[in-house]
Structures are given as structure tokens and as C-alpha cells.
Structure 1
Amino acid sequence: MMKKLKKRFCSIIVLIAMLFVAVPSVVAAAESNYSHLLGNSNVKKPSVGGRLQVLEKNGVKTLCDESGELIQLRGMSTHGLQWFPGIVNQNAFVTLSNDWDSNVIRLAMYVAEGGYASNSSIMQTVINGINYAIANDMYVIVDWHTLNPGDPNASVYTGAQTFFNTIADLYPNSKYIIYELCNEPNSENGGVSNDATGWAAVKSYAEPIIQSLREKGNQNIIIVGNPFWSQRPDLAADNPINDVNTMYSVHFYSGTNPVSTVDTNRDNAMSNVRYALNHGVAVFATEWGTSLATGTTGPYLGKADAWLDFLNENNISWCNFSISNKDEIASALTSSTSMDPGSDYVWSESELTTSGQYVRARIKGIYYATPEDPSTSEPTAPIDFSSGYWDFNDGTTQGFGINADSPITAVTVANENNALRITGLNTKGSNDLSENNYWANVRLSADIWGQSINIYGDTKLTMDIIAPSPANVSIAAIPQSSSHGWANPTRAIRVWTGNFTAQSDGTYKATLTISTADSPNFSTIAADASDSTVTNMILFVGSDSDDISLDNIKFIP
């Protein structure tokens, strides 16, 4: 304990020195572009804010306190309570409330993945967490953490109504509690589609639970997830639930999800938030991280600043994932740090990861001194896979390169104009246009991709072919998963010069479609509910043109 007190005293001295000496010049240099990162006047504890409600302010629906004034919640989300129950302790909650100035904690109660569905004792961990939150003047999000399968209507989630009724009976109409009905609807294992139909399935699940809670007299804020891992609140805005205190979640990871200044890009999470706000619904960022969506690589603090500046400017509440000691970039605690900070109620700086130090400062609304300018100190720009398919919008080849077994290696593969440009095809001999001799052409693979796509139930693989003039192109494909490594394509699919149409930028474009009948591996993976996740793609590409580009490579039903 004494060691921690000494560290805390030293940290205070350093902070005072920074405030008196460094802040005026450094803040202007490092944070001048993010005007909403400092300060927290709307961040109020339940003892001040009271019962929460959704109201319209300046034409936008947003979270307000009992008196009708703006309130913003800032805090942490736990990791899965079946894996990290140790975070639910009195000392940790005191620390988050007092040292971090959090006014909210999210209890991530996974249902599958060894969670509540198979271990109902986790309910007591949730109850303990609620009690600690109330005792320490924090709002508490009770999260029914759906993940895999991705449809909240799946049989493993049938206990949702009973679970929420039980919490409501234990804490009737409590001003502290916020209900999050489904964490991340997605397409995994027969989940929901990334469109209006997928949202309709989520809505049909949520409405009876909301009605039951309201009939019990609970006016609590309710948050509902949405398709594509809660990145589509825009879909909810087009077909909202008829309830005044229902909000819609957005989840993002700063290394994966880029910022947007428009509300029209349906492949961008921030754009979808802007659309939702502009079309009459309120949004809550119940989960976000400083890393890639995998929890690894980073932290991307400059990109996180841009996101938080947007959230704070629009009074959108947020919880960072996660307050745990899991050995990953997104965790706030180092892997050797106890989740019980001790009776001095503080985790020292050395016990916090870089992400933890950063998020603590952002919750408090105080200056955070990044080691260097974010543009030079952060890792290389990550693969932007927020679209869920190869769109090449991040300026990289998103894993694609010449396969080690390719018979032709002299062609060049690069990202140009946010597409995968392949040059030298014809002159280097990758020009066989027959259905069956695709083996003679260059072989590309995305095995350094580091991402995955669930293709369960999909029947087509489509891609745009772009060329400076109409061309003849032949492509065969082998998607691969962890257990389905190889099956020869049935044939290559071809587009001809007559299939291309002129574009406004002077190029020509055609769409090539490969079916499950053309690629046995595709057929097998798409039908395997236990292993329907593509982790690599092999393409055999031939053309009588030296210069073609591929874009928007996606699997569809």
C-alpha cells in the first residue's frame, strides 16, 4: 500500500508541474484540433443528475437529467464477467467513481461463450456490480451481451425476458439502472443481416422486453443494439421502436473505424451515428476501444481523440472497453495488475496500460500528454475493415499479395485510388482466359489480412473490375477457413469487354460474380454453421490487359 501511496504522491507532483509549466504550450500544439476533449460540465453523478430521460434539444434527441438538462455519461465497461469477475469489488468501484470520476459502469454479462446461459451464477456477479455502482454514485448499464450467435432471437438467448424482469423486480424503477438489451447483433452463425431486415429481427426481439419493463412501471433508459456489431443505428432511425426512453448503441474501435463528416456513408459507423441523430433517435456508445476491433494493435490515440471529440460535442455518452487485466491493447490494466486496487483506491500509472492512462484522463476531462504527436507516434494505419469486406478504403492492399506458390510473381499489386491495382498481367503471362486453366495465372492471397468474414448462408462472391479501357478478365476463387483449407475451383468466371460500362472518372467497370457452384470451398464454408468464417482468400487472376483493379470484394446471400 505504501508503494502505491508514494507512486500516487509522485504522480501528483508531476501533474502539478505539468499544469503550471507545460499545459499552455503543449495543449495548443497537441489538442487544438479537438476542442471537446477537456472539461466535463455535463458529466454528473446520479446524486446530481437523478433519473435519466431522452429529450429533444436543438432538434436532436439526447440524454438529459431529471431536470431536463444535458447529461453525459463517461465510464468503463467490464470485459466478460465469466472471465474477469474479479473486477466486481468495492475498491475498484470506489476508484472508478472517485479517482477516475466515472459516472457510469457497464457490466458486460456474456450469455453464450460460457456465460449466463450455461452458468446462471453470474447473475449474482451482476447484482453485486449493481450494488457497488449504486453505493458509489454511478449509473450502471446491465448488458445482455449477445455476440455469437449474432441473432438475439437465437435459442441460447431465450432467457432474456426472465433476466430483465428479475433485475427490474430487484431494483424497481431505479434511477441508477440502464438496460442494454442486446450487445452486438451480427451475422455470425445464422445471425442477422446488415440491412433493414436484420434490424427488423432485432426490433422484434426488443419490443416485448421493453413493453414488459414499462408495464412494471420502469421508466429506465433502455439501449438496443443493431446490426453489424452495433454499427448501424441508422437502420434503427429508419424504423425506430415506439418508446420515448429507448436509445440505440454504437460500438467502435479507433484503429478500425474511421471518422466521417457526412451522414450518407452506410459503410462507416460515425456516418451512421450522424444519420441517426439527424433522423430523430438518440445514440449511446456503450462500447469503444483504443485498438483494432480485435482488441490488439495500437493504441490509436489520435483517432480515439477524433471520435471522443465527436461524441462529446454531440453529448453522446460512452463506455470504454475494458476495465480488465486481459493481456491486450484495449485493456485499461496491465496483465500483472490486480483488479482490486487496494484500500488506497487508486491504480498507479505503472499499473495502467497506455490505453488505461489515456481513457482515465478523457473520462476526467483533463489534459493527457501523448508521448509524441499522434501522427508520428501511432502504429501504421490499420486495415479499415468496418465495411465487413475488402473495400481497400484504408489505402492498403488489405492483406492481398502474391501467393508464395504463384506460378507468376512479376506482376505488381498495390493500392491505388482505394482499389487493388494489378499491373503487368498480360505482358508477364497471366493472361489465360479459359475456364479451367486458371492455374496458369497469377495467384493472389490475403493471408496476411488479419481479419475475418462470416459467410454463413451466402451464395455469391462479387467484385468490381475496373480498367482504363474495356478488358477480358478471368478470376477463380478459393475462400479458406480454419478447417476448410483447400478445394479446387470448379471453374474461373469471366467478364468480357462488352460487360464494362464507362464511369464518370474515365475508367470502365464490370461486376464479376462467383457462385458456390463455381467454388466448392465457398460452398462448404457457407454451409458449415460451426466454421463459416473466412480467414483467407485466394484469387487466380488473368487478363488480356496489363492494368486492372479489383474493388468491393464481398460475399452476399
Structure 2
Amino acid sequence: MKKSFLFLCLLTTFSAFAQPSRLLAGKGNVYLENGKPAQLRGISFSWSIWGGAKYYNPNVVDHLIDDFKAKVLRVSMAVEPDQGYLKDPELQWTRIIPVVERCLERGVYVIMDWHDHHADKNVETAKEFFEKFSKRYSHSPFIVYEIWNEPERIDWSIIKKYAEEVIPVIRKNDPYNLIVVGSSTWDQDIDIVAKDPLLGFHNIAYSFHFYASEPHHQEPLRKRATEAIESGLPVFVTEWGVGEANGDGAFDLEKNKAWMDWMEKYQLSWANWNVTDKKETTALLLPGAPANGKWRNKHLSPSGKYIREVLRKHAK
């Protein structure tokens, strides 16, 4: 009895002093505070509109953590289309907050993704959102800010200027947490960024996106990304899919393995696209999958089964 009581006291004391690790941008990667690559593997929610919106709830968060074994979840808040943040900010706020809160309660990292292809046209709204969000969550080391999802074919100087406006808004409230910046051509041109990174800001990483079966996303793209990583640019794969860039197309296991091996080689963190039941290759769920999580094998698409298996394998 005395030994059990002593163990309980030691465990309680350890828990009281143990602190979750903040993510830190470093040479070619994102690291934990102990200096090891974070190598977080997880899942991206779909756009917070359309069919994927019904999965924005704490039960789904629990299922992705408990069953899929996700260590990072990405909240892809729609900005421009339909009922996105520009048209209905209150709806989007009330939709994302329960998901973010549940991630923090469960102790998993959450990427707050400003899911906008044209963020340079919505700078003031982005600043207002990130001011509000960072003020609310600056206390948590689990928060990651992704300030522009997939800029299209525009010059890096435009993306850089946008980042130089938005980052100080976040840093006013949150001096420490990781901020992820995009690059042109849908987050593929990180080789360009590596030659001209942001200066004067700390704890900044850069997002890299790919679709494993996309014909244009093969060895030449991997080579460009490898050069950026090996030059020291901190990289986080905040979105990738098993199919092609349109969300559909082929699910090529050999090409997926090549990309998976590459991410493992460089110990990169990643979030797979996406939690929805749309009839698409990259959708993790089959049409009609329950909105409250608790999915069985019959609810998972080939993509969902594959990603679940990968995540569970690495959780062991």
C-alpha cells in the first residue's frame, strides 16, 4: 500500500510539472523543444462548408485521435466560397471553435488553416481573424497558425508581403507558437522561398503540399522540396492527398509509397487531406458515413483505410 501511494505521489508530481512541447522551426524541419523532429502525422478536416462541414464536431476529433491515432489535426476554415468567413464569420467561428477546443483538451496539435487561395485580397479580414484567434489561444503550445492555404500562381513577393502584415498581428498576442507560411503554385514552390525566406521573425516554417498520384507531383517536385529542406528551410507538409490534385483520379500505391518514404526519410510532419464523405479519391469516408465519428471499416474509403493503417502503424 505504501509503495502504491508513493508511486501515485511521484506520478502526480511528474504530471504537474510535465509540460506539452511547443513546436519549433529549425533546420529543414519542425522540432519539439527537446530537439527531436516532431514528426507529427495526422489528418486535415475538409473545407468548413459543403459536405465536410458536418464532421466539424468533438466526436469526430475523438475518433480521429482514438481510432486513427492522429497526432495533429488541421482545421481548414473556408474563407471565400459560399458561407465562408467573408460572408458569415460568426457561422465559421462557431463551427471551428468546438473542434479546436476538443483538440486542446485531448492534447493534440491543431493547425488553424486560413483556407483561402486568394488571401492577398482579404488581408484585413485575415488580420482581424488571427488577432481574435491568437488572443484566445496564445496560452496553448498545441496551436499552429497556417496563415494562407495554397497561394495560386503568384509571385513570392506578394505572399511574403502578406506574411509580413499578418505575422505581427499574431505575434502581438502569441510570441512563441509556430506560424506556417505558404508558397506559390499551391504550396509547391518552396525552392523559391528557400532562396529568399522571411527575415526578422522567429519560429516560422513553410508549408509544402503534394498529391501523391498527380502526374506533375513526382520526382522533379520531390527534388525541389528536397533541395529546400537540405538548404535548411523549415518544412511542414500541412496537406497532401493519396490521389490527384483535383481530389479525385488514381490512387497509386507505388507513388504513395514513394512520397511516404520521402516524408519518413526527412522525418516531416504531415496532415492528410481530408475528412469528408464526398465521392472522391482523397475523401477518407464513403458517402453517408456518420457525422459523429465512430466509423467502422464499411464507412471508410480506400483512402481512409490506407491512412488509418499508416497512422496506427506509426503509433505503435
TM-score range, shorter chain: 0.7 to 0.9
State which of 47, 58, 69 in structure 2 corresponds to 1:80.
47
Q: Does 1:118 align with 2:87?
A: yes
Q: Which residue of 1 aligns with 2:207?
A: 249
Q: Which residue of 2 aligns with 1:8?
A: none
Q: What is the alpha-carbon distance in structure 2 between the residues aligned to residue 349 and residue 118 of structure 1?
A: 37
Q: What is the alpha-carbon distance in structure 1 between the residues aligned to residue 115 and residue 128 of structure 2?
A: 15
Q: Does 1:166 align with 2:132?
A: yes
Please report how far the alpha carbon of residue 202 of structure 1 lies from its aligned counterpart in structure 2 after TM superposition.
0.1
Please report how far the alpha carbon of residue 66 of structure 1 lies from its aligned counterpart in structure 2 after TM superposition.
2.2
| Contact in 2 for aligned 1:107/1:140 (Cα 8 Å) | yes
| Contact in 2 for aligned 1:173/1:218 (Cα 8 Å) | no
> AA paired with 1:51?
R
> AA paired with 2:197?
P
Q: Deviations over 1:352-384 (max 9, x none)?
A: 0000000111122369xxxxxxxxxxxxxxxxx
Please report how far the alpha carbon of residue 92 of structure 1 lies from its aligned counterpart in structure 2 after TM superposition.
1.1
Please report how far the alpha carbon of residue 313 of structure 1 lies from its aligned counterpart in structure 2 after TM superposition.
1.2
> AA paired with 1:304?
N
> AA paired with 1:305?
K
Distance 1:328 1:134, change over 3 A: same
> AA paired with 2:287?
S
* Secondary structure at 1:158 match in 2: helix
Distance 1:279 1:366, change over 3 A: closer
1:327-342 aligned within 5 A? 327-341=279-293
Q: Which residue of 2 aligns with 1:68?
A: 35
Please report how far the alpha carbon of residue 88 of structure 1 lies from its aligned counterpart in structure 2 after TM superposition.
1.7
Distance 1:74 1:328, change over 3 A: same
* Secondary structure at 2:100 match in 1: helix
Q: Which residue of 2 aligns with 1:175?
A: 141
Q: Does 1:353 align with 2:310?
A: no
> AA paired with 1:180?
E
| Contact in 1 for aligned 2:123/2:162 (Cα 8 Å) | no
Please report how far the alpha carbon of residue 55 of structure 1 lies from its aligned counterpart in structure 2 after TM superposition.
2.7
Please report how far the alpha carbon of residue 70 of structure 1 lies from its aligned counterpart in structure 2 after TM superposition.
2.1
| Contact in 1 for aligned 2:135/2:174 (Cα 8 Å) | no
| Contact in 1 for aligned 2:20/2:141 (Cα 8 Å) | no
| Contact in 2 for aligned 1:173/1:219 (Cα 8 Å) | no
Distance 1:241 1:95, change over 3 A: same
Structure that is richer in strand per residue:
1
> AA paired with 1:171?
Y
Q: Deviations over 1:175-200 (max 9, x none)?
A: 0110001001113xxxx1xxxxx001
Please report how far the alpha carbon of residue 288 of structure 1 lies from its aligned counterpart in structure 2 after TM superposition.
0.7
Q: Which residue of 2 aligns with 1:19?
A: none
Distance 1:76 1:217, change over 3 A: closer
Deviating runs (4+, > 3 A) in structure 1? Answer: none
> AA paired with 1:100?
F
Q: Does 1:239 align with 2:207?
A: no
Give % identity. Answer: 30
Q: Deviations over 1:48-75 (max 9, x none)?
A: 752111233xxxx321112222211111
Q: Which has the larger radius of gyration?
A: 1
Please report how far the alpha carbon of residue 333 of structure 1 lies from its aligned counterpart in structure 2 after TM superposition.
0.6
- List alignment gaps of at least 5 residues for structure 2: 1-17
Q: Does 1:133 align with 2:103?
A: yes
Q: Which residue of 2 aligns with 1:300?
A: 252
Q: What is the alpha-carbon distance in structure 2 between the residues aligned to residue 168 and residue 356 of structure 1?
A: 32
Q: Which residue of 1 aligns with 2:261?
A: 309
Q: Which residue of 2 aligns with 1:153?
A: 120
Please report how far the alpha carbon of residue 211 of structure 1 lies from its aligned counterpart in structure 2 after TM superposition.
2.0
| Contact in 2 for aligned 1:223/1:249 (Cα 8 Å) | yes
Please report how far the alpha carbon of residue 157 of structure 1 lies from its aligned counterpart in structure 2 after TM superposition.
4.5
Q: Which residue of 2 aligns with 1:553?
A: none
Q: RMSD across aligned C-alpha pairs, in angstroms? A: 1.8
Q: Does 1:287 align with 2:239?
A: yes
State which of 158, 168, 177 in structure 2 corresponds to 1:220.
177
1:115-514 aligned within 5 A? 115-120=84-89, 121-147=91-117, 150=118, 152-154=119-121, 156-187=122-153, 192=154, 198-242=155-199, 243-256=201-214, 257-260=216-219, 268-341=220-293, 346-365=294-313
Q: Which residue of 2 aligns with 1:52?
A: 23
Q: What is the alpha-carbon distance in structure 1 between the residues aligned to residue 191 and residue 291 of structure 2?
A: 37
| Contact in 1 for aligned 2:249/2:281 (Cα 8 Å) | yes
Number of equivalences? 293
Q: Which residue of 1 aligns with 2:11?
A: none
| Contact in 2 for aligned 1:220/1:245 (Cα 8 Å) | yes
> AA paired with 1:174?
S
Please report how far the alpha carbon of residue 216 of structure 1 lies from its aligned counterpart in structure 2 after TM superposition.
2.5
Q: What is the alpha-carbon distance in structure 1 between the residues aligned to residue 60 and residue 25 of structure 2?
A: 30
Q: Deviations over 1:95-134 (max 9, x none)?
A: 1111111111101112111211111120121211110111
Structure that is richer in helix per residue:
2
Q: What is the alpha-carbon distance in structure 2 between the residues aligned to residue 314 and residue 118 of structure 1?
A: 40
Please report how far the alpha carbon of residue 167 of structure 1 lies from its aligned counterpart in structure 2 after TM superposition.
0.5
> AA paired with 2:173?
K
State which of 74, 84, 87 in structure 2 corresponds to 1:106.
74
Q: What is the alpha-carbon distance in structure 2 between the residues aligned to residue 133 and residue 322 of structure 1?
A: 17
Q: What is the alpha-carbon distance in structure 1 between the residues aligned to residue 87 and residue 296 of structure 2?
A: 36
Q: What is the alpha-carbon distance in structure 2 between the residues aligned to residue 110 and residue 199 of structure 1?
A: 22
Q: What is the alpha-carbon distance in structure 2 between the residues aligned to residue 353 and residue 157 of structure 1?
A: 37
Q: What is the alpha-carbon distance in structure 2 between the residues aligned to residue 90 and residue 258 of structure 1?
A: 34
* Secondary structure at 1:174 match in 2: coil
State the TM-score, normalized to the length of structure 2: 0.88
| Contact in 2 for aligned 1:111/1:157 (Cα 8 Å) | no
- List alignment gaps of at least 5 residues for structure 1: 1-46, 193-197, 261-267, 368-557
